[in-house]
Amino acid sequence: GHSSSTQSAIIVPKPGTYNNSLKRYNIYYIITIDAVESSTHGICYSIVDMSLDNGLGGISTKNVHLLGTETVEKICVVKHANSCDYWIVCKVPNNNSFYSYLLSSNGLDLNPIISNTGPVMTKGGGYMKSSSDNSMIALAHYGSTSTSGLGIHVYDFNNSTGTLTIKFTDSPSIPNTTNTTYYGIEFSPNNQFLYFTALNSPNVYQYNLLATNNTDFQNSMAIIGTTSNTYHYKACALQLGPNGKIYVALEDQ
């Protein structure tokens, strides 16, 4: 990974390795994502074996290259329709392709399901998240003014097949910013609303996911809160907690 990458690492348990006596899995995969400014390692994976080092765990496989060199600093993990396996959804820049890798009790399938849908995106940052019902994936994409695919994009996700299809897309105008800093993104617990932040704006923005067309989706954008942070980036990552509340990360606080 990289200290500057939006989502520099994500950890996924290997299905079929749950240790009931210890209340944890025996095997975990760590997927790492390089940063835009580095753009050498792309997306890699390592494997943690918790039986190593007298049960403290250790790396059994390290930094195996999975995909790409340049990145869009995004990744998400979605539960498979079988409620056991996982889809690891990745993206590389300069195309509109998404790569869904299946992680099952057989390990990581290195032959991804590829979906070509939505706008072409050049390298940039911003988060990618899945809805709690595993039916949608949304992302925020930011970069320089010449970056393609800037904005907020929502996809329908088939968690049986691993395929994505574009649902909504918008490049909203954010007052008092450079209009390119779309960053944090999160679904409401009931998956009716989508929230996002832009790094240079103090606001939290909302869309209505029940919109029947893309125009209504775009017109549904509203400011639902404003942070008090005045330091550099005003509002950063969004994260849904287990208590159903969405937390907003503020730089230097």
Give pLDDT, residue 109: 98
- Residue 171 β-bridge partners: none
Nearest to 248 by CA among 201, 178, 180: 201
SS3 category, 219: helix
Per-residue pLDDT of the chain (253 residues), as tens digits, is: 899 999 999 999 999 999 999 999 999 999 999 999 887 899 999 999 999 999 999 999 999 999 999 989 999 999 999 999 999 999 999 999 999 999 999 999 999 999 999 999 999 999 999 999 999 999 999 988 788 999 999 999 999 999 999 999 999 988 666 557 999 999 999 999 999 999 989 999 999 999 999 999 999 999 999 998 888 889 999 999 999 999 999 998 8
Full-model pTM: 0.95
Give pLDDT, residue 143: 86
Nearest to 240 by CA among 165, 168, 189: 189
Give pLDDT, residue 145: 79
- Taking the C-alpha atoms of residue 53 and residue 148, their distance in angstroms, rounded to an integer, is 46
Give pLDDT, residue 174: 82
Give pLDDT, residue 231: 82
Q: Considering just the CA atoms, what is the radius of gyration of the chain in Å? A: 18
Nearest to 152 by CA among 106, 204, 103: 204
Give pLDDT, residue 105: 98
Burial readout 118-146 (b: 16 or more C-beta within 10 A, e: otherwise): beebbbbbbbbbbbeebbbbbbbbbbeee
SS3 category, 216: helix
Q: How many helices (H) and strands (E) does the chain have?
A: 1, 21
Give pLDDT, residue 180: 79
DSSP string, 37-93: TT-SS-EEEEEEETTTGGGT-EEEEEEEEEE-SS--S-EEEEE-TTSS-EEEEEE-S
The answer to whether 4 touches 37, Cβ cutoff 8 Å, is yes
